[in-house]
Structure 1
Amino acid sequence: MTVDPLSFRWLLPVILLASLTLVSSEKAAFTIELTTENFNQTLSGIPSSAFALIEFFAPWCPHCQRFKPQYEKVAALFNTEPRTTPDIMVFNVDCVAQGELCTRYDVKAYPAILFGPPKSFETNGQGAQKLNNANTADDVMKFINNRLGQNFVLSTDTTYGNTYNSLGEQLKPLENLTASMQVSLADVEKATVLSYEYMFSSKLLVPHNRRAFVQWTTLLANNHPVPRCRAGCRHLLSSLEEVWPERNSSGSPPPGPLPALQRWRVCGRHRTDGDWQGCKGSAPTTRGYSCGLWSLFHTLSASAEESEADAGFKWMQGVKAFVGTFFTCQVCNTHFMAMASTADAARVSTRKDAVLWMWQAHNQVNLRLAKEEAATDTGDPAFPKMQWPSPASCPPCRTTEVLHMDQASQDGADWNMDAMYEYLLWYYGEGKRPAGVALPARDPRPGPAVAVAAGHPRWGGAGQVSHVLLMAASGVGLVVCAYVWLRSMRNSLAKNKKGLLPP
């Protein structure tokens, strides 16, 4: 088959964009990142006969993190030579960094995947086809093959493991840190601020979601452990009719957007660009916001009023309102709401009920994720999912000794619930340190140990700088190679047309 190298001229600007993407650390190796600035230009450079596959994701979304290496497998097939027929280019969009772009394409849950010819994206993706509930590369390939009547097969020659594994081999751990024993309120506050920022930057502030917004904000106004966040939520509730009225002057719900509400800062002028404390992962895309939310849910339960008989019920209603309506990681949302819809969840009434249910639910999630991450080689290797607390962290919390933490049952048979409740109140609330629980050496970055194993290495510092420089050099090299290759092909073709090359 004769291939006309000039038919690939449109690839040069895409390759240039890809090389610039590589300069950033922790970026995908094959997937091309789109931004508000380059979106239209990049898609307009693709031939009308080609197709674009675009994933809209949020880096804080745990399912997006697990799906990333799967999506990379697809990108490795289509974004490399030789080109397929028809041609397909694989892109992604970071909805935290490119919120305006994701709003334009009506992205309400993550990950969202759109597929179609370039022209289908000209009308905000209305002409593109949407792939829902993709978990594996095979799901994506089946979707593409069905739409195009093709039989594309993923390559088995390349390793597409989690980025963290290769980075872990390249970067020596700088220190061994011991997980601390009390939750970081800085992480709780940051998760609170981000939860509102993500709500305000999405298309979720619609009339039928107002009740859920009020339930969540009411829970924070009553239970938040940080005084300024608690006061900010109370002020927001008292001003809600001004910033988000139920009805406007004509008697109808106000249409969006709601600029006065979106400017609100529930924790004051809190900055969110600083590092996570206890929730800081070994890579920028691990832990972070999802870990912070778990910490927030735990502290809200431990801060509930003990004297109120329905304090746990109110907590459950507020958390379900937030997760079910505003936590847009689709898979995470589905799993959590399934747990929150069980008979055990329905029996949550008191503070003790809420504190223990939240802890059991978190351990249940950790048990499931530990198996998934082991099977897919994802997750943060420095912070493996585990059943918490460990026997060493809280000796009185277990009634039987278990050899491996993943053997701990979920039905309470291995746990002393009264001791566990006392421990959780100390860890997430203002309770006293239980007898028999020792204070370990303090971590310079205090935070939750729910999914943290003591003594695991973390990397950073100079190694990360070297990695960034390496990626930058790779990006420049890719540009040069692309340019030389294109010039060579054009010269060869010109000579061939002039009869200067042998047949």
Structure 2
Amino acid sequence: MSRTLLVLIVCLSALRFGTSLGSRSILRTVADKNGDSEDYAIDLNATNFDAVFRDAPATFAVVEFFAHWCPACRNYKPHYERVARLFNGPNAVHPGKVLMTRVDCALKMNTNLCDKFSVGHFPMLFWGPPSNFVSGSWNPKEEKSEIRNIDDGRTAEKLLNWMNKQMGSSYGLDDQTFENEHLSSNISDPGQIARAVYDVEEATSTAFDIILERKMIKSETRAPLIKFLQLLVVHHPSVRCRRGSAEILVNFDELSLADMKQEEVASEKGAVKNFQICGKDVPRGYWIFCRGSKNDTRGFSCGLWVLLHSLSVRIEDGESQFAFTAICDFIRNFFVCEECRQHFHEMCSSVYSPFNKARDFALWLWRAHNKVNERLLKEEESMGTADPKFPKMIWPPPQLCSSCYRSHSSKQIKWDENVVHKFLTNYYGKMLVSLYKSNSSLGNVVVDGALDELATSTNAVAVPVGAALAIALASCAFGVLACYWRSQQKSRKPRRSSELKFCEGYDSTEVK
């Protein structure tokens, strides 16, 4: 058995195990029953209880233990849902704050779970950080528990008042989605970036949706997209986005619909929609770190910038020029804001020497972002379109990295670029994925043999010997499968000369 197939079998076996683990997708699920009403609270059971709370992006959680046969529980449900509407679902008014859940103790499968929390009456509500519910329990005699019994939540008003007291907030039952003028700026809190991994997932999914919806995959854009996907397979901070990027590479030919006849396009339309780069359940409009205080600010553009910075600090020296060309070509071919695209292309075109060090590329992208912020700051001030809570600024601000500044005047800033690079690496690298890695059983796995084989077969990423490229095990599986699958395809059908072959390699085109 070849080395490639052996690695593939091992990886796919692990992938089946990984997919049985908890998924964050359930956190945003809102079921529409018969089209009449929406349930915002998440129904949990003994099989997914720990996994959901382990992956929860929320700061706090509420668990309602109830019994479906209990009349009081049925009467209480509308009250609970009025509060859950504020915090759960893709259109949550206050996302990322509280995860509202429920457990039906009348089901036999939940008996032991309800016993662990000493449920003695229905409904019974508990409050605490999500992590404390993982393998957690509650005992009324225990005085110093992070999980608290909510003893005054019998109506929606009382429940929300109780929660407001715990959070120091003033949320109301009539709060509506956006405008979020009350939203506080997070620029002085370095820990906030840890939650941006969820925004990076959404930005990646949104970008790929735009590419598919606008049918932007053409003969001249195939190579730039494949290059960018290869970069995501290795370095995307999200495990499931790495896995999805690799799966798309495997099925890349099915996405090229530009040359199909109209009836063929129609027949393939449903299949194309099934390609979801970060998973089918990534929501829309659920920005946490990148949420603006107005409807039309931040969001997607912020998430995309965070993704690019994350990629820039995760690559190795031998990949710096490839990453530069992949990102520049991706923005030039697939970013639909024309003015932004042109400005970014101009900055890329002004680079005449190849990047030999990852540090140099990370700092170039940082400088480019600050140039964009300077330009937009002046435009937004003159037009009155700035987000009042999140105006454009030079990054990082002194609140986050005072040592990044050698000197700071109104006309000029002198940076300590060594300190800046250290900040960028920590902020967009370690801190960005810290929350995600701690909650993911696949995030820290490195399979050296599969990695070497994937890198060699693509001939696109120059990987230094021993480089710590943390490919998730699932991504490894799809990556190896990509090369094996395409090697088999060469004997099945002819290829167009203009078509880029994923496993045959190609030369990176430098931006002059």
Structure 2-normalised TM-score? 0.45
Of structures 1 and 2, the one with the larger relative CO (CA 8 A, separation 6+) is: 1
